[in-house]
Amino acid sequence: MTPHYVVRHVDRADPETVAALRAAGVATVHEAAGRTGLLGPAVRARQTGAVVAGSAITVSCHPGDNLMVHAAVEVCRPGDVLVVGTTSRSTDGMVGDLLATSLMARGVVGLVIDAGVRDLASLRELGFPVWSRAVHAQGTAKAVPGSVNVPVVVDGQVVRPGDVVVADDDGVLALPVAMASDVAAAAAKRLAVEEGKRAALAAGTLGLDLYDLRPLLADLGVVHVDRLPDGVG
């Protein structure tokens, strides 16, 4: 039989770095990280306006079975994000309001799951943010072993234990701990530059001029005319 593990220890990023990445948000962090680490769009926010960042506690589950999610709760610490993958595609409702209540008692700030959740209205009332592949009332068993704190694949992206997970309305991103500090610094610089651009755009400057795109259009053969020439279009 293939062994399964519950790994208790995870190397986490420092809280200041996690807070900085949370403040920057997924889109800015993705750009600052060289456009790496982004999960696919199938796993999406099930509430509006939630923003979380924290260290990943990862769970590998058999589809339709949430036994290992229960096992993972014990190793969670305040500020963690629970990240659940399944060994094959699943949309079953693997986490509902009872498990969410247990996770909140451990200080978990959010859930990212490549499967389904249920009790969505209750999850929203609890204020427990979730990003999931599906919302589905289908229940699950508690019978098949898996592992906690091993690498998992979530919507095409490998997430490793301890990765810094950032999630908001734009999606979910996972960064290795070793990259987190440098990416946080780069994200802060991007935010400062974007603030200047935002002010210029609000004042009426066109993106064509702000980004010096007119020469590019000309090089690409784009011609400005007042009307289409006869016989064109």
Give the residue numbers of the binding site for Mg(2+).
119
Q: Taking the alpha carbons of 81, 59, 57, 167 in that order, is the dihedral positive or negative? A: negative
Please give the structure tokens belonging to residue 112.
Answer: 């990212």
**Separation between Cα atoms, residue 99 and residue 105, nearest integer Å:** 10
Contact indicator for 109, 83 with CB cutoff of 8 Å: no
Please give the structure tokens belonging to residue 177.
Answer: 């701990």
Please give the structure tokens belonging to residue 187.
Answer: 């994200």
- For the annotated binding site, the residues are 96-99, 118-119
Indicate the Cα dihedral angle 169, 80, 150, 148, nearest 10°.
Answer: -110
**CA distances (Å), origin 213, targets 46, 56, 198, 203, 220:** 37, 40, 17, 18, 11
- For the annotated binding site for substrate, the residues are 96-99, 118
Q: Taking the alpha carbons of 175, 38, 110, 81 in that order, is the dihedral positive or negative? A: negative
